[in-house]
Structure 1
Amino acid sequence: MPLIKLFLDICFFRKGPQDTPASNLLLGLAISAYLIVGFVLLGLEGDWAGAVVEAIAEGAMVFGFLFVVLYLGKKLPRLRQTATALYGCDALISATAIPLLALLLMAPEAKPVYIFLTFLLLWHLAVVGHILRHALAIPFFYGVALAFGYVVISYQVMMALFDRAT
Protein backbone atom coordinates (compact mmCIF):
# COMPACT_ATOMS: atom_id res chain seq x y z
CA MET A 1 0.00 0.00 0.00
CA PRO A 2 1.54 3.34 -1.06
CA LEU A 3 0.48 5.14 2.12
CA ILE A 4 2.29 2.68 4.39
CA LYS A 5 5.34 2.86 2.11
CA LEU A 6 5.34 6.66 2.43
CA PHE A 7 5.29 6.46 6.22
CA LEU A 8 7.99 3.76 6.18
CA ASP A 9 10.14 5.98 3.93
CA ILE A 10 9.76 8.80 6.46
CA CYS A 11 10.56 6.42 9.33
CA PHE A 12 13.73 5.34 7.50
CA PHE A 13 14.69 8.98 6.78
CA ARG A 14 14.29 8.65 3.01
CA LYS A 15 11.45 11.19 2.84
CA GLY A 16 10.13 13.99 4.98
CA PRO A 17 6.77 15.52 5.85
CA GLN A 18 6.98 17.67 2.73
CA ASP A 19 6.47 14.47 0.72
CA THR A 20 3.12 13.84 2.43
CA PRO A 21 0.10 15.07 0.46
CA ALA A 22 -1.71 18.01 2.11
CA SER A 23 -5.00 16.14 2.37
CA ASN A 24 -7.63 16.33 5.09
CA LEU A 25 -8.64 12.75 4.27
CA LEU A 26 -5.08 11.49 4.67
CA LEU A 27 -4.70 13.44 7.91
CA GLY A 28 -7.92 11.87 9.18
CA LEU A 29 -6.67 8.38 8.27
CA ALA A 30 -3.34 8.99 10.01
CA ILE A 31 -5.07 10.31 13.14
CA SER A 32 -7.43 7.33 13.11
CA ALA A 33 -4.52 4.89 12.87
CA TYR A 34 -2.74 6.75 15.67
CA LEU A 35 -5.81 6.60 17.91
CA ILE A 36 -6.47 2.90 17.23
CA VAL A 37 -2.87 1.90 17.95
CA GLY A 38 -2.80 4.14 21.03
CA PHE A 39 -6.06 2.66 22.26
CA VAL A 40 -4.71 -0.88 21.91
CA LEU A 41 -1.40 -0.01 23.60
CA LEU A 42 -3.06 1.77 26.50
CA GLY A 43 -5.77 -0.84 26.84
CA LEU A 44 -3.42 -3.81 27.09
CA GLU A 45 -3.60 -3.62 30.86
CA GLY A 46 -7.38 -4.01 30.71
CA ASP A 47 -8.81 -0.50 31.21
CA TRP A 48 -10.33 -0.14 27.74
CA ALA A 49 -12.63 2.78 28.61
CA GLY A 50 -9.75 4.75 30.11
CA ALA A 51 -7.60 3.87 27.10
CA VAL A 52 -10.02 5.66 24.76
CA VAL A 53 -9.86 8.87 26.78
CA GLU A 54 -6.08 8.69 27.16
CA ALA A 55 -5.52 8.02 23.45
CA ILE A 56 -7.66 11.02 22.52
CA ALA A 57 -5.86 13.21 25.08
CA GLU A 58 -2.47 12.14 23.71
CA GLY A 59 -3.58 12.77 20.14
CA ALA A 60 -4.81 16.24 21.06
CA MET A 61 -1.54 17.03 22.83
CA VAL A 62 0.43 16.01 19.75
CA PHE A 63 -1.64 18.30 17.56
CA GLY A 64 -1.34 21.15 20.07
CA PHE A 65 2.43 20.68 20.24
CA LEU A 66 2.75 20.74 16.45
CA PHE A 67 0.52 23.79 16.19
CA VAL A 68 2.59 25.72 18.74
CA VAL A 69 6.02 24.85 17.33
CA LEU A 70 4.96 25.49 13.74
CA TYR A 71 3.27 28.75 14.75
CA LEU A 72 6.34 29.93 16.66
CA GLY A 73 8.55 28.83 13.77
CA LYS A 74 6.33 30.75 11.32
CA LYS A 75 5.68 27.51 9.40
CA LEU A 76 1.99 27.02 10.22
CA PRO A 77 1.03 26.31 6.57
CA ARG A 78 2.98 23.03 6.98
CA LEU A 79 0.71 21.82 9.80
CA ARG A 80 -1.42 19.38 7.79
CA GLN A 81 1.52 17.61 6.17
CA THR A 82 3.58 17.59 9.36
CA ALA A 83 0.70 16.24 11.45
CA THR A 84 -0.06 13.58 8.85
CA ALA A 85 3.58 12.45 8.82
CA LEU A 86 3.84 12.46 12.60
CA TYR A 87 0.60 10.60 13.31
CA GLY A 88 1.24 8.06 10.54
CA CYS A 89 4.82 7.33 11.55
CA ASP A 90 3.90 7.15 15.22
CA ALA A 91 1.17 4.63 14.43
CA LEU A 92 3.64 2.43 12.51
CA ILE A 93 6.34 2.52 15.16
CA SER A 94 3.91 2.10 18.04
CA ALA A 95 2.16 -0.82 16.33
CA THR A 96 5.43 -2.75 16.48
CA ALA A 97 5.39 -2.30 20.27
CA ILE A 98 1.99 -3.97 20.74
CA PRO A 99 3.21 -7.59 20.71
CA LEU A 100 6.24 -6.65 22.80
CA LEU A 101 4.17 -5.01 25.51
CA ALA A 102 1.74 -7.93 25.47
CA LEU A 103 4.70 -10.26 25.98
CA LEU A 104 5.90 -8.16 28.93
CA LEU A 105 2.50 -8.42 30.56
CA MET A 106 2.79 -12.21 30.39
CA ALA A 107 6.53 -12.45 31.18
CA PRO A 108 7.85 -9.29 32.90
CA GLU A 109 11.29 -10.90 33.26
CA ALA A 110 11.85 -10.94 29.44
CA LYS A 111 14.79 -8.53 29.50
CA PRO A 112 15.53 -8.55 25.74
CA VAL A 113 12.06 -7.07 25.18
CA TYR A 114 13.03 -4.04 27.28
CA ILE A 115 16.08 -3.52 25.09
CA PHE A 116 13.98 -3.66 21.93
CA LEU A 117 11.39 -1.27 23.41
CA THR A 118 14.21 1.15 24.29
CA PHE A 119 15.40 0.92 20.70
CA LEU A 120 11.85 1.68 19.48
CA LEU A 121 11.66 4.72 21.76
CA LEU A 122 14.99 6.06 20.50
CA TRP A 123 14.00 5.40 16.89
CA HIS A 124 10.68 7.19 17.50
CA LEU A 125 12.52 10.23 18.90
CA ALA A 126 14.81 10.26 15.87
CA VAL A 127 11.85 10.03 13.46
CA VAL A 128 10.01 12.86 15.21
CA GLY A 129 13.23 14.88 15.16
CA HIS A 130 13.55 14.16 11.43
CA ILE A 131 9.97 15.30 10.80
CA LEU A 132 10.44 18.47 12.88
CA ARG A 133 13.76 19.19 11.18
CA HIS A 134 12.07 19.31 7.79
CA ALA A 135 8.90 21.04 8.97
CA LEU A 136 10.74 23.82 10.82
CA ALA A 137 13.88 23.96 8.64
CA ILE A 138 16.12 23.42 11.68
CA PRO A 139 19.10 21.12 12.32
CA PHE A 140 18.31 17.49 13.13
CA PHE A 141 19.72 17.80 16.66
CA TYR A 142 17.26 20.61 17.45
CA GLY A 143 14.40 18.53 16.08
CA VAL A 144 15.38 15.61 18.34
CA ALA A 145 15.75 17.98 21.30
CA LEU A 146 12.23 19.31 20.66
CA ALA A 147 10.92 15.75 20.40
CA PHE A 148 12.62 14.77 23.65
CA GLY A 149 11.27 17.86 25.43
CA TYR A 150 7.79 17.07 24.19
CA VAL A 151 7.99 13.46 25.41
CA VAL A 152 9.11 14.54 28.88
CA ILE A 153 6.42 17.20 29.21
CA SER A 154 3.63 15.07 27.74
CA TYR A 155 4.54 12.20 30.05
CA GLN A 156 4.25 14.50 33.06
CA VAL A 157 0.92 15.90 31.83
CA MET A 158 -0.51 12.42 31.21
CA MET A 159 0.61 11.21 34.64
CA ALA A 160 -1.04 14.24 36.25
CA LEU A 161 -4.26 13.89 34.24
CA PHE A 162 -4.70 10.16 34.49
CA ASP A 163 -2.95 9.36 37.77
CA ARG A 164 -1.13 6.32 36.39
CA ALA A 165 1.41 4.57 38.56
CA THR A 166 4.96 5.20 37.37
Structure 2
Amino acid sequence: MNLLLQYLSLCWFTNNPADLHPSKSFMWKAVAFYLVSGIIVESLIADPADGTLEVLLRTVMAFSTIITLLLIMRKWDYFGQLFTAIFICENFIMTLAIGAEALDLVMVMEHYENREEVSIGLAVFLVVWYIAIVSYIFRQMLSFKMSSSIVTAFSYFVLTYGLPMLFMDI
Protein backbone atom coordinates (compact mmCIF):
# COMPACT_ATOMS: atom_id res chain seq x y z
CA MET A 1 0.00 0.00 0.00
CA ASN A 2 2.89 2.33 0.79
CA LEU A 3 4.37 1.83 -2.68
CA LEU A 4 0.99 2.58 -4.29
CA LEU A 5 0.72 5.81 -2.31
CA GLN A 6 4.23 6.78 -3.36
CA TYR A 7 3.32 6.20 -7.01
CA LEU A 8 0.02 8.06 -6.64
CA SER A 9 1.90 11.05 -5.25
CA LEU A 10 3.38 11.41 -8.76
CA CYS A 11 -0.07 12.63 -9.76
CA TRP A 12 0.59 15.64 -7.53
CA PHE A 13 4.10 16.09 -8.93
CA THR A 14 5.94 14.85 -5.87
CA ASN A 15 8.39 11.96 -5.57
CA ASN A 16 10.80 10.81 -8.20
CA PRO A 17 9.76 7.65 -10.06
CA ALA A 18 13.46 6.70 -10.36
CA ASP A 19 13.49 6.28 -6.57
CA LEU A 20 10.57 3.83 -6.61
CA HIS A 21 11.28 0.14 -7.18
CA PRO A 22 8.14 -1.89 -7.88
CA SER A 23 7.95 -5.66 -7.57
CA LYS A 24 6.98 -7.71 -10.62
CA SER A 25 3.63 -8.46 -8.98
CA PHE A 26 2.93 -4.76 -8.43
CA MET A 27 3.85 -3.95 -12.05
CA TRP A 28 1.52 -6.56 -13.50
CA LYS A 29 -1.31 -5.59 -11.16
CA ALA A 30 -0.94 -2.04 -12.53
CA VAL A 31 -1.27 -3.43 -16.07
CA ALA A 32 -4.30 -5.53 -15.12
CA PHE A 33 -6.03 -2.53 -13.53
CA TYR A 34 -5.14 -0.46 -16.62
CA LEU A 35 -6.83 -3.03 -18.86
CA VAL A 36 -9.94 -3.44 -16.68
CA SER A 37 -10.50 0.29 -16.07
CA GLY A 38 -9.82 1.10 -19.72
CA ILE A 39 -12.29 -1.52 -20.88
CA ILE A 40 -14.93 -0.16 -18.48
CA VAL A 41 -14.51 3.40 -19.77
CA GLU A 42 -14.45 2.39 -23.43
CA SER A 43 -17.45 0.07 -22.98
CA LEU A 44 -19.41 2.99 -21.54
CA ILE A 45 -18.54 5.06 -24.60
CA ALA A 46 -18.74 2.47 -27.38
CA ASP A 47 -19.47 -1.17 -28.08
CA PRO A 48 -17.76 -3.39 -25.46
CA ALA A 49 -15.97 -5.49 -28.11
CA ASP A 50 -14.63 -2.40 -29.87
CA GLY A 51 -13.71 -0.85 -26.52
CA THR A 52 -11.79 -3.94 -25.47
CA LEU A 53 -9.89 -4.04 -28.75
CA GLU A 54 -9.05 -0.34 -28.47
CA VAL A 55 -7.73 -0.78 -24.91
CA LEU A 56 -5.60 -3.74 -26.01
CA LEU A 57 -4.20 -1.63 -28.87
CA ARG A 58 -3.49 1.21 -26.42
CA THR A 59 -1.63 -1.19 -24.14
CA VAL A 60 0.51 -2.46 -27.00
CA MET A 61 1.22 1.10 -28.12
CA ALA A 62 2.09 2.19 -24.56
CA PHE A 63 4.59 -0.62 -24.11
CA SER A 64 6.00 -0.13 -27.61
CA THR A 65 6.45 3.60 -27.10
CA ILE A 66 8.13 3.20 -23.71
CA ILE A 67 10.40 0.44 -25.01
CA THR A 68 11.39 2.47 -28.08
CA LEU A 69 12.08 5.59 -26.03
CA LEU A 70 14.22 3.72 -23.52
CA LEU A 71 16.15 1.83 -26.21
CA ILE A 72 16.89 5.06 -28.07
CA MET A 73 18.04 6.72 -24.85
CA ARG A 74 19.95 3.60 -23.75
CA LYS A 75 18.17 3.57 -20.39
CA TRP A 76 16.54 0.14 -20.57
CA ASP A 77 17.09 -0.34 -16.82
CA TYR A 78 14.27 2.15 -16.17
CA PHE A 79 11.64 0.10 -18.01
CA GLY A 80 9.80 -1.31 -14.97
CA GLN A 81 9.90 1.96 -13.08
CA LEU A 82 8.81 4.07 -16.06
CA PHE A 83 5.91 1.96 -17.25
CA THR A 84 4.71 1.41 -13.68
CA ALA A 85 4.79 5.14 -12.94
CA ILE A 86 2.88 5.98 -16.11
CA PHE A 87 0.36 3.15 -15.70
CA ILE A 88 -0.37 3.87 -12.01
CA CYS A 89 -0.96 7.56 -12.76
CA GLU A 90 -2.99 6.68 -15.82
CA ASN A 91 -5.04 4.27 -13.70
CA PHE A 92 -5.78 7.13 -11.31
CA ILE A 93 -6.87 9.39 -14.18
CA MET A 94 -8.90 6.52 -15.68
CA THR A 95 -10.67 6.02 -12.34
CA LEU A 96 -11.57 9.71 -12.38
CA ALA A 97 -12.76 9.26 -15.99
CA ILE A 98 -15.07 6.45 -14.86
CA GLY A 99 -16.49 8.87 -12.28
CA ALA A 100 -16.88 11.50 -15.00
CA GLU A 101 -18.74 8.99 -17.18
CA ALA A 102 -21.04 8.15 -14.28
CA LEU A 103 -21.65 11.87 -13.69
CA ASP A 104 -22.44 12.29 -17.39
CA LEU A 105 -24.98 9.47 -17.18
CA VAL A 106 -26.64 11.09 -14.17
CA MET A 107 -26.75 14.45 -15.97
CA VAL A 108 -28.35 12.80 -19.01
CA MET A 109 -30.98 11.11 -16.87
CA GLU A 110 -31.67 14.38 -15.02
CA HIS A 111 -31.77 16.34 -18.32
CA TYR A 112 -29.10 18.71 -17.05
CA GLU A 113 -28.99 21.68 -19.42
CA ASN A 114 -25.20 22.18 -19.48
CA ARG A 115 -24.26 18.50 -19.53
CA GLU A 116 -22.08 18.75 -22.63
CA GLU A 117 -20.05 21.68 -21.31
CA VAL A 118 -19.47 19.95 -17.98
CA SER A 119 -18.48 16.66 -19.64
CA ILE A 120 -16.16 18.32 -22.14
CA GLY A 121 -14.63 20.46 -19.41
CA LEU A 122 -13.94 17.42 -17.25
CA ALA A 123 -12.46 15.51 -20.20
CA VAL A 124 -10.16 18.38 -21.16
CA PHE A 125 -9.07 18.80 -17.54
CA LEU A 126 -8.26 15.08 -17.21
CA VAL A 127 -6.31 14.99 -20.51
CA VAL A 128 -4.27 18.08 -19.62
CA TRP A 129 -3.57 16.71 -16.15
CA TYR A 130 -2.56 13.35 -17.66
CA ILE A 131 -0.13 14.98 -20.09
CA ALA A 132 1.31 17.08 -17.25
CA ILE A 133 1.83 13.96 -15.10
CA VAL A 134 3.51 12.01 -17.90
CA SER A 135 5.65 15.05 -18.66
CA TYR A 136 6.69 15.20 -15.01
CA ILE A 137 7.55 11.49 -15.03
CA PHE A 138 9.68 11.86 -18.18
CA ARG A 139 11.41 14.89 -16.73
CA GLN A 140 12.20 13.11 -13.47
CA MET A 141 13.15 9.72 -14.92
CA LEU A 142 15.00 10.77 -18.04
CA SER A 143 16.27 14.24 -17.06
CA PHE A 144 14.43 15.94 -19.91
CA LYS A 145 14.08 19.69 -20.11
CA MET A 146 10.57 21.01 -19.51
CA SER A 147 9.82 21.61 -23.20
CA SER A 148 11.16 18.20 -24.24
CA SER A 149 9.17 16.43 -21.55
CA ILE A 150 5.94 18.17 -22.61
CA VAL A 151 6.48 17.34 -26.29
CA THR A 152 7.36 13.74 -25.42
CA ALA A 153 4.32 13.39 -23.14
CA PHE A 154 2.03 14.84 -25.80
CA SER A 155 3.56 12.50 -28.40
CA TYR A 156 3.08 9.57 -26.03
CA PHE A 157 -0.57 10.57 -25.59
CA VAL A 158 -1.12 10.79 -29.35
CA LEU A 159 0.58 7.44 -29.95
CA THR A 160 -1.23 5.57 -27.17
CA TYR A 161 -4.68 7.11 -27.60
CA GLY A 162 -4.77 8.66 -31.06
CA LEU A 163 -3.43 5.79 -33.15
CA PRO A 164 -5.66 3.08 -31.61
CA MET A 165 -8.67 5.42 -31.95
CA LEU A 166 -7.75 6.09 -35.58
CA PHE A 167 -7.34 2.37 -36.20
CA MET A 168 -10.76 1.69 -34.70
CA ASP A 169 -12.35 4.28 -36.99
CA ILE A 170 -11.04 2.56 -40.11
TM-score by shorter chain over 0.5: yes
State the 1:46 CA deviation.
5.0
Contact between 2:8 and 2:88, CA under 8 Å: does it hold in 1? no
Residue identity matched to 2:89: C
1:139 corresponds to 2:152: no
State the 1:130 CA deviation.
0.8
The aligned counterpart of 1:76 is 76
Residue identity matched to 1:128: V
Q: Residues 1-166 of structure 1: matches in 2 within 5 Å?
A: 1-105=1-105, 107=108, 109-110=114-115, 111-163=117-169
State the 1:12 CA deviation.
0.6
- Count of equivalent residues: 164
In the alignment, structure 2 segments of 5+ residues that lack a partner are none
In the aligned structure 1, how far is the partner of 2:161 from the partner of 2:55? 13
Contact between 2:18 and 2:81, CA under 8 Å: does it hold in 1? yes
State the 1:160 CA deviation.
3.2
- State which structure, 1 or 2, has the greater radius of gyration over its C-alpha atoms: 2
Residue identity matched to 2:155: G
- Same amino acid, percent of matched pairs: 28
In the alignment, structure 1 segments of 5+ residues that lack a partner are none
Residue identity matched to 2:169: D
State the 1:23 CA deviation.
2.2
Report the TM-score when normalising by structure 2.
Answer: 0.86
